[in-house]
Amino acid sequence: KQEVTQIPAALSVPEGENLVLNCSFTDSAIYNLQWFRQDPGKGLTSLLLIQSSQREQTSGRLNASLDKSSGRSTLYIAASQPGDSATYLCAGLGGGSEKLVFGKGTKLTVNP
């Protein structure tokens, strides 16, 4: 059974800092991994999707990597801004399963 873990649960950084959010998963037969952003009381917005055949994806200041052998994915945010403050969730789609398994998220606060 796929399990997805995100550590730390919360992270506070000063504006301008580069930062890395971590996501680990137990089943390496992962089909893809997706990173989401959630603002308080709002829905989830997909940021990046990495297919199992890919190593990384980039969108603007965001870069996500996937290492199936170690069961890890990272979301790199460059030059963080207060507007980046939100909860970031990762989710893995298991090979042979249609079920997307979510981590509990990392709450990011970027201080001006």
Partner 1 sequence: EAQVTQNPRYLITVTGKKLTVTCSQNMNHEYMSWYRQDPGLGLRQIYYSMNVEVTDKGDVPEGYKVSRKEKRNFPLILESPSPNQTSLYFCASRQGGEKLFFGSGTQLSVL
Q: Which residues of 28-55 are buried (b: 16+ CB within 10 A; e: fewer)?
A: eebebbbbbbeeeeeebeebbebeeeee
The whole-angstrom separation of Cα 54 and Cα 29 is 14
Q: Which of these segments, 12-20, 58-66, 67-75, 92-100, binds partner 1 (CB under 8 A)?
A: 92-100
Which CB sits closer to partner 1, 80 or 105?
A: 105
Is-contact 108 84, C-beta < 8 A? Answer: yes
Q: Does 102 bind partner 1 (CB under 8 A)?
A: yes
Q: Does 45 bind partner 1 (CB under 8 A)?
A: yes
Q: Applying CB under 8 A, which residues contact partner 1?
A: 31-32, 34, 36, 41-46, 49, 51, 89, 91, 93, 98-100, 102-105
